[in-house]
């Protein structure tokens, strides 16, 4: 690794994850998030992207998953023995796939619930509700309403807003674009980029929508079958021929082709990384 | 048949007030179910445990009432914490039926302990409710039932307010709503589980003390829990509002059946209500229907 270890907020080293004691989801995955950067983690369905995030935030046991081997270090500290809530309090906030807002609670109460993330912090952090409402004015308008009645996009905003309350050092974002219109996706990603720039929050961003993800990310990893197959800066990935073909849908000159000509999903094996 | 409206009014009022106790005990049940999804079949026995603790403090140790009541409630809270920590927490992640079976066992253990420590004899609790007769219009109300209902509604209101405005209440409702997300926002979920058992045990103790001071205590008073189960199923297992409404409703039905048909028809009437409600609304009156966005 070329980078100085102290610059890395998150180091994931050769981890393996097994579900239900039999299904192996991750096979020796390694990645790193440098401080202050957005790192995109891309890959097709079932590649293990969400599993990676759950392994980092220690939410695996809820789904009968187990970190079978490897190490995860957040800010230099091994996280294996930390309960999920302890990890959140240390500064790792996980915005889960499918938003997971508290539907029976109001928007405001959702944010209040997140203030538990601040307990036990040494620097006596106060919850900053205004900050959330500044990034997401829509949430302010609907703060008294039940979160279950928000639109999908608004729920995603609330999920990110909840994480913001926790004032995280590292934000894990799992598919913020899931089920959201392209226009709203654009807005949300613009805000993600703003949060990263203005608050120096490091981010690990899981996405299926590689185009929007690589547009905001500094660097990226591409996963396949439970491990990393390609990594590099966002510009390099966006111009890589394979990535363009398989993840950005821009292969072979870009003109429309008929399904007859579509070549089989075949790929060079990559043994590097 | 000539209808005696005054009698009907009196019976209804008394029954609804008696239903207040069902509502309070139902709230204790819902508290645990909502947070932890554990069906606590030992709710009646926890009620009994609370009343025996009160009996010990007030009658055996002769503590003054202002001390004996809070002491009994607090001791019940500790009991709730111990039950959660030793019997329920180890079953986290196991199928719900396991915890359910454990609570059946817990009920038997509590009955056994009570019979070992205090014997199976019926006992009287010291009188602490005012005995002056209460009249509403022409209706005469048994003072114990009236004051029992007052205490129950004070506690119900307090619990509702606390869980609406206190941050711990938000944590409990958040955990009930989405456990994984509760972990992800930094809530200590196991502690919330513990909290729900403590509060539930304390509420059960309050209702146990009132029930005991109305009808005396014995090792078989856990059957009160049977009616509480009817209440929470009718109301919808995870609904606080349901427990309150169904508590009053079941109290009313039971009282009317007792007055017009005879005491032996009380349980029959309440279970007929149960069957009927389940036929019409399988999730109970106010049981969760998920908010659906289309």
The pLDDT value recorded for residue A243 is 80
* CB contact (8 A) between residue A104 and residue B291: yes
**How far is the C-alpha of A205 from the C-alpha of A179, rounded, in Å?**
16
Give the containing element (helix H, strand E) for B255.
Answer: helix B240-260
The pLDDT value recorded for residue B294 is 45
pLDDT band at A246 (very low <50, low <70, confident <90, very high): confident
Q: What are phi and psi of A123, to 5 degrees?
A: -85, 30
Instruction: Give residue for tokens 């609304």.
Output: B281
B240 in any annotated domain: no
By C-alpha distance, the chain B residue nearest A54 is: B184
Question: Which residues from chain B sit within 8 angstroms of residue A100, using beta carbons?
Answer: 178, 180-181, 184
B245 in any annotated domain: no
What share of chain A in percent tops pLDDT 70? Answer: 88
A103 and chain B in contact, CB less than 8 A: yes
* CB contact (8 A) between residue A119 and residue B186: yes
A114 and chain B in contact, CB less than 8 A: yes
- What's the Cα-to-Cα distance from B54 to each of B72, B73, B154, B196, rounded to whole Å? 5, 8, 19, 21
The pLDDT value recorded for residue A11 is 95
CA distance A211 to chain B (A): 27
Using left for φ > 0, alpha for ψ between -120 and 50, and beta otherwise, residue B151 falls in alpha
- Mean pLDDT score, A262-271: 50
Lowest-confidence pick of B20-34, B179-193, B217-231, B274-288? B274-288
Instruction: Give residue for tokens 């066992």.
Output: B105
Domain containing residue B131 = 5-222
B47 in any annotated domain: yes
B231 in any annotated domain: no
A158 and chain B in contact, CB less than 8 A: no
- Mean pLDDT score, B138-164: 91
Q: Is the pTM of this model over 0.90?
A: no
Give the containing element (helix H, strand E) for B141.
Answer: strand B139-141
pLDDT band at B289 (very low <50, low <70, confident <90, very high): low
**Which residues, numbered 27 to 66 in chain A, qualify as contacts with chain B under a Cβ-Cβ cut-off of 8 Å?**
57, 59, 61-62, 64
The pLDDT value recorded for residue B11 is 92
Sign, CA dihedral A53-A57-A60-A63, equals: negative
* CB contact (8 A) between residue B173 and residue A102: yes
Which of B2, B8, B47 has its CA nearest to residue B26? Answer: B47
B/e letters for B161-181, b = 16+ CB within 10 Å, e = fewer, are eebeeeeebbbbbbbbbbbbb
B292 in any annotated domain: no
pLDDT band at A273 (very low <50, low <70, confident <90, very high): very low
Sign, CA dihedral A166-A171-A177-A179, equals: negative
By C-alpha distance, the chain B residue nearest A118 is: B186
By C-alpha distance, the chain B residue nearest A89 is: B186
**How far is the C-alpha of A28 from the C-alpha of A225, rounded, in Å?**
10
- Mean pLDDT score, A46-73: 93
The pLDDT value recorded for residue B140 is 86
- Give the residue with greater pLDDT, B242 vs B127: B242
CA distance A224 to chain B (A): 26
Q: Is the ipTM of this complex over 0.90?
A: no
Using left for φ > 0, alpha for ψ between -120 and 50, and beta otherwise, residue B11 falls in alpha
The pLDDT value recorded for residue B265 is 93
Asked whether the predicted pLDDT for residue A236 surpasses 90, the reply is yes
* CB contact (8 A) between residue B181 and residue A83: no
Which of B244, B253, B243, B256 has its CA nearest to residue B275? Answer: B253
B280 in any annotated domain: no
Chain A, chain B: beta-carbon pairs less than 8 Å apart? 90
Asked whether the predicted pLDDT for residue B207 surpasses 80, the reply is yes
* CB contact (8 A) between residue B183 and residue A62: yes
Question: Which residues from chain B sit within 8 angstroms of residue A55, using beta carbons?
Answer: none
Mean pLDDT, all residues of chain B: 91
B284 in any annotated domain: no
- Mean pLDDT score, B31-38: 91
Report the number of distinct structural domains present in chain B: 1
Q: Can you tell me whether residue A12 is helix, strand or coil?
A: strand
Q: Are residues B259 and B11 in contact, defined by beta-carbon separation less than 8 angstroms?
A: yes
Which of B209, B240, B199, B243 has its CA nearest to residue B20? Answer: B243
- Mean pLDDT score, B130-150: 87
pLDDT band at A123 (very low <50, low <70, confident <90, very high): low
B199 in any annotated domain: yes
Nearest to B180 among A62, A109, A146 (CB): A62
Would you tell me how many other CB atoms lie within 10 Å of the CB of residue A261? 7
A66-86 pLDDT, tens digit each: 999 999 999 999 999 999 999
pLDDT band at B136 (very low <50, low <70, confident <90, very high): confident
């Amino acid at each position: 690794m070329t980078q100085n270890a102290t610059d890395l907020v998150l180091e994931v080293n050769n981890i393996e994850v097994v579900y239900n004691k039999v299904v192996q989801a991750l096979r020796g995955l390694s990645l790193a998030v440098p401080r202050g950067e957005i790192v995109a983690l891309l890959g097709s369905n079932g590649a293990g992207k969400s599993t990676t995030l759950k392994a980092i935030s220690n939410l695996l046991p809820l789904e009968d998953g187990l970190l079978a081997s490897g190490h995860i270090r957040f800010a230099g500290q091994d996280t294996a023995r930390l309960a999920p809530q302890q990890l959140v309090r240390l500064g790792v906030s996980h915005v889960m796939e499918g938003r997971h807002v508290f539907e029976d609670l109001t928007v405001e109460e959702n944010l209040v619930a997140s203030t538990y993330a601040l307990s036990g912090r040494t620097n006596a952090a106060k919850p900053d509700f205004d900050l959330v409402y500044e990034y997401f004015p829509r949430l302010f308008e609907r703060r008294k309403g039940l979160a279950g009645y928000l639109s999908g996009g608004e729920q995603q905003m609330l999920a990110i807003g909840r994480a913001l309350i926790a004032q995280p050092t590292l934000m894990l974002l799992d598919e913020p674009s899931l089920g959201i219109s392209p226009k709203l996706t654009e807005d949300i990603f613009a805000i993600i980029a703003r949060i990263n720039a203005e608050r120096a929050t490091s981010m690990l961003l899981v996405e299926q929508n590689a185009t929007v993800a690589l547009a905001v990310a500094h660097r990226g990893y591409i996963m396949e079958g439970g491990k990393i197959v390609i990594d590099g800066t966002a510009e390099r990935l966006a111009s890589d021929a394979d990535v363009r073909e398989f993840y950005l849908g821009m292969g072979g000159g870009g003109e429309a082709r008929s399904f007859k000509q579509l070549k089989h999903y075949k790929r060079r094996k990559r043994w590097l990384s | 048949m000539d209808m005696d409206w005054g009698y009907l009014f009196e019976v209804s009022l008394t029954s609804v007030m008696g239903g207040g106790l069902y509502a309070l005990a139902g709230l204790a049940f819902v508290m645990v179910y909502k947070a932890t999804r554990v069906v606590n079949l030992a709710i009646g026995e926890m009620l009994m445990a609370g009343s025996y603790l009160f009996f010990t403090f007030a009658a055996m140790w002769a503590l003054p009432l202002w001390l004996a009541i809070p002491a009994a409630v607090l001791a019940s809270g500790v009991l709730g914490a111990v039950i959660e920590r030793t019997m329920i927490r180890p079953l986290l992640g196991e199928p719900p039926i396991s915890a359910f079976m454990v609570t059946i066992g817990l009920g038997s253990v509590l009955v056994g302990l009570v019979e070992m420590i205090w014997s199976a004899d019926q006992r009287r609790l010291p009188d602490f409710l005012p005995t002056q007769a209460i009249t509403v219009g022409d209706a005469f109300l048994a003072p114990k039932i009236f004051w029992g209902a007052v205490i129950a509604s004070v506690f119900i209101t307090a619990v509702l307010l606390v869980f609406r405005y206190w941050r711990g209440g938000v944590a409990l409702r958040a955990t009930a709503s989405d456990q994984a997300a509760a972990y992800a926002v930094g809530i200590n979920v196991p502690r919330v589980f513990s909290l729900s058992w403590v509060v539930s045990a304390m509420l059960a103790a309050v209702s146990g003390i009132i029930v005991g001071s109305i009808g005396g205590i014995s090792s078989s008073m856990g059957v009160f829990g049977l009616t509480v189960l009817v209440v929470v199923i009718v109301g919808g297992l995870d609904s606080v509002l349901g427990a309150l409404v169904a508590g009053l409703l079941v109290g009313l039905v039971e009282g009317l059946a007792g007055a017009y048909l005879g005491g032996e028809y009380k349980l029959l009437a309440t279970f007929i209500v149960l069957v009927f409600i389940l036929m019409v609304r399988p999730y109970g009156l106010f049981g969760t229907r998920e908010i659906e966005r289309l």
